[in-house]
A and B are shown apart, each in its own frame.
Chain A
Amino acid sequence: MRVVIAEDLALLRDGLTRLLHAFDFEVVAAVDNGPALLPALLDKRPDVAVVDVRLPPTFTDEGLQAAIEARTRIPGLPVLVLSQHVEQLYARELLADRTGAIGYLLKDRVSNVGQFVDAVRRVAAGGTVMDPEVIAELLANRSGAEPLHALTAREREVLGLMAEGRSNAAIAGRLFVTEKAVSKHINSIFSKLGMPPSEDDNRRVLAVLTYLNA
């Protein structure tokens, strides 16, 4: 799998390169600044990009902007965005094009190598992976808001785990229920949120979007 990395700190850039290399990713470009990122994404067309939000020269949100820009040129280009802090505002902006294949994680999550690599693969496969901290904030603040109030507490929990990018099997393991029970919950969520039967992946993305925009 071909991957582009954008990270300005050499220590982290090399670490990420080494880590992904160890899991059979091919790092086709590793850039250390914002202006170099967009051309790298457009030229190399990687299977997935791992991008730091804040990059030189302005040290604002250049990485995020480049990722969003690249995805308008190449719709659905898989991007996993990393940051020292997570903001719901950024999560919404990343999800706004509704094409999925997006991830938004705290940099800390890299330390759990297995889960991190899993997240990269999920994003590359078109999934949506949101940091548990984004989800936790939502659960604390917006669980009563429209249109989620129709969901049961359990269904909200399942939706939160879906937003974190977990598979049905992982959700089942986490909640100590069968996979069948999980898919029942998920179907109930889809129908309560008024999502017609369609390709499952896309519905998952839409459900997560509804959740994040509540």
Chain B
Amino acid sequence: MGRMDHPIATRLPPWLRRRLTQGGQALLLAVLSVSANIVLLVLSVLSLAFTVLGAGLFAFPAVTAAVRELANHNRRVAGAWTGREIPVPYRPEPAQPTVWRRYRWVVTDPATWRDLLWLLLSIPVGLVLGLLPLVLLVYGLEGLLGVPVLLWALDVWYGYGAIWPADTLGKALLALPQGALILFFGGVTGELLHRMHGGFTRGLLAPTPSAALHQRVRQLTETRSQTVDAQAAELRRIERDLHDGAQARLVALSMSIGLAEELMSRDPEAAQRLMAEAREASGQALGELRDLVRGIHPPVLAERGLAGALAALALKLPLPVEVDAELPGRPLAPVESAVYFVAAELLANVAKHSAARSAWLRLRYGDGRLVLVVGDDGVGGADPAGGTGLRGIERRLAAFDGTMFVASPPGGPTTVTMELPCELSSPKTSPSSGTG
């Protein structure tokens, strides 16, 4: 049945247990908001004031860093309460931070001042909203559970609710309905107060629409320039491969054929040799073109879509890969291609580094997001910051607002989860044209 180590906790009804937990968190925050907020607020004001003397140039950014830590903690907690993450609104740190640049960075960011406003307001708000639910719950419980105490203490100073003192049995028993009422009220309003607290935090700590837009523009600018760079590099590579490979081979090929034509009547044997050479050169040119095409857009992707292409990809690996890919339609071609190459890179990593005996791949679509998970039973320890491969994947995904999460404890297993927002076309529409 229940957990043996918390017999009392398991005996409480679940809603009450949840309220108590929430109340406890709120209480903790309330205590924090009083102590930490006051300290930080005072420090902020002091360090700002000392800017005139120069010391504030160092101190204010340092205090602000602490304020941001606290604010971020509150963002996380309130985000969890309201079930919706609160984004961090701060502008990015200057690239080469000097004392003055850091100071300017902190002072010119409106989020800094909103944080200070929040510090100030959350002292009373946190106290009221944070303490009230718990107070109601505890007092209500006291009314229900405290009757024996009241009975025992009849005729003494003790009382409950509106009845002071509770000096007769009847008065003491009145604590029961009062306690129930208060408990009920605490239960009903607890969730509401909780949400109000979350809403208050969100209101001040979430990025303003303009800050959010700034952030978005900055991010788009960054990913766009990355994408443009990557595309230019890709085109250069293709140009070089064609120039040094297939193009050069075709030149050699036409030379051989031309020469064979000359020799046909005079030296048929030599002509035949040349033709054989020409055929070989054409084979090599075709092989190079095939590899090149595979790198640009794998033909199997055009023919079978993402799920089929991933199944084909899995067969090329030196270890068994279980593929479970189900999509209700097809994503746009650039998305398909990006996800395919991400999967190829991840599986290549598995084959190269993980020492895994088997791997698996799962592709699903839901809530407007494409989710790819690649896992293996290898040694783990994959570090997204360490490998250029994983960083390349992150860059590739960034162009589509996609994200990647790596879970790879030492000793394994490793799972990499990729998420990418996109839309699917209905399965009937035909894919891009081409010829084979």
Question: Interface residues of B, CB < 8 Å — how many?
Answer: 28
Within the assembled complex, what's the spacing in Å between the Cα atoms of A97 and B282?
Answer: 35
Number of A-B contacts defined by CB within 8 Å? 73
Is A17 in contact with chain B by the CB < 8 A criterion? no
Query: B73 contacts the other chain (Cβ, under 8 Å)?
Result: no
B303 A84 Cβ-Cβ under 8 A: no
Closest B residue to A52 using CB positions: B436
Query: Which of A54, A111, A141, A145 interacts with B279 by CB under 8 Å?
Result: A111
Q: What is the 8 Å Cβ interface bit string for chain B, positions 183-199, against chain A (1 contact, 0 not)?
A: 00000000000000000
User: With a CB–CB cut-off of 8 A, which chain A residues contact B163?
Assistant: none
Q: Do B436 and A111 touch (CB < 8 A)?
A: no
Contact with A along B290-324 (1 / 0, CB 8 A): 10011000011011100010011001111010000
* Complex Cα spacing A196 to B399, Å: 57
- Measured CB to CB, the closest approach of chain A to B89, in angstroms, equals 47
Q: Does B94 contact A (CB under 8 A)?
A: no
Q: B315 — which chain A residues lie within 8 A by C-beta?
A: 87-89, 92
Question: How far, in whole Å, are A115 and B333 apart by their CA atoms in the complex?
Answer: 38
Question: With A84-B293, A88-B315, A89-B315 given, is the CB distance from A61 to B287 under 8 Å?
Answer: no
A140 to B318, CA, bound (A): 8
Complex CA gap A209/B298 in Å reads 26
- Say yes or no: A57-B430 contact (C-beta < 8 A), given A52-B436, A89-B311: yes
Contact B290 A53 (CB under 8 A): no
Distance A106 CA – B436 CA, assembled complex (angstroms):
11
Q: Judge whether B290 and A60 touch: CB under 8 Å.
A: no
| Residues of chain A within 8 A of B290, CB atoms compared | 84-85, 106
Please give the distance in Å from B329's CB to the nearest CB on chain A.
15
B350 CB to closest chain A CB (Å) equals 13
- Name the residue of chain B whose CB is nearest to the CB of A55: B436
**Which parts of A42-84 form the interface with B (CB within 8 Å)?**
52-55, 57-61, 83-84
Q: Is A198 an interface residue (CB 8 A)?
A: no
CA–CA, A24 to B286, complex, Å? 28
Q: Is the CB of A141 within 8 A of B436?
A: no
Residue of A nearest to B289 (CB): A84
* A108 is an interface residue with CB less than 8 A from chain B: yes
Give the CA-CA distance A200 to B303 in the complex, in Å: 36
Q: B436: which A residues are within 8 A, CB to CB? A: 52-55, 59, 83-85
B434 neighbours in A (Cβ, 8 Å): 54, 59
Q: Does B283 contact A (CB under 8 A)?
A: yes
Nearest-neighbour CB distance to chain A for B169, whole angstroms, equals 82
Q: Is A164 an interface residue (CB 8 A)?
A: no
Chain A residues within 8 Å of B304, by CB: 60-61, 89
Which of chain B's residues have a CB closer than 8 A to the CB of A59? 302, 431-436
CA distance A108 to B433 in the complex (A): 22
Answer whether residue A191 sits at the interface, using C-beta atoms and an 8 A cutoff.
no
Bound CA–CA A87/B302 (angstroms):
13
Q: Check B435 against A9 for contact (C-beta < 8 Å).
A: yes
Bound-complex Cα distance A88 to B304 (A): 13
CA distance A54 to B301 in the complex (A): 12
The residues of A that contact B311 with a CB separation of less than 8 Å are: 89
What is the bound-complex CA distance between A155 and B172, given in angstroms? Answer: 95
Given contacts A54-B434, A59-B436, contact A87 B283 (CB under 8 A): no
Task: Kindly identify, within residues 383 to 426 of chain B, every residue whose CB is under 8 Å from any CB belonging to chain A.
Answer: none
Known: A8-B435, A89-B311. A61 touches B317 (CB 8 A): no
- Residues of B within 8 Å of A83, CB to CB, are 299, 436
A137 interface residue per 8 A CB criterion:
yes
Cα distance A163–B435 in the bound complex, in angstroms: 28
Which residues, 107 to 149 on A, are CB-close (under 8 Å) to B?
107-108, 111-112, 137, 140-142, 145
Q: How far is the CA of A85 from the CA of B299 in the complex (A)?
A: 7
The complex places the Cα of A85 from the Cα of B287 at a distance, in Å, of 9
| Contact A137:B316 (CB < 8 A) given known A108-B283, A111-B282 | yes
B residues within 8 A CB of A111? Answer: 279, 282-283
Given known A85-B293, A87-B312, contact A58–B282 (CB-CB < 8 A): no
A61's nearest neighbour on chain B, judged by CB, is B303
Q: Assuming A58-B430, A85-B294, A88-B315, is B279 touching A53 (CB within 8 A)?
A: no
In the assembled complex, how far is the CB of residue B10 from the closest CB belonging to chain A, in whole angstroms? 50
User: Which residue of A has the minimal Cβ distance to B290?
Assistant: A85
> Which single residue of chain B is at the shortest CB-CB distance from A8?
B435
Alpha-carbon distance A140/B316, docked complex (angstroms): 9
User: Which residues of chain A are near B312, meaning CB under 8 Å?
Assistant: 87-90
With most chain B CB atoms within 10 A of its CB, the pick from A58, A60, A90, A112 is A60
A-B contacts, 27 of them at CB < 8 A, read: A53-B303, A54-B299, A54-B434, A57-B430, A58-B430, A58-B431, A59-B431, A59-B432, A59-B433, A59-B435, A61-B303, A61-B304, A84-B293, A84-B436, A85-B293, A85-B299, A85-B436, A87-B312, A88-B312, A89-B304, A89-B308, A90-B312, A106-B290, A112-B279, A137-B316, A141-B317, A142-B318
Besides A88-B316, A137-B316, A140-B318, 7 more A-B contacts (Cβ < 8 Å) are A59-B435, A60-B431, A61-B304, A84-B436, A85-B299, A89-B311, A106-B290
Q: Return the 5 tightest CB-CB contacts between A and B, nearest first.
A: A54-B436, A89-B312, A88-B315, A61-B303, A141-B318
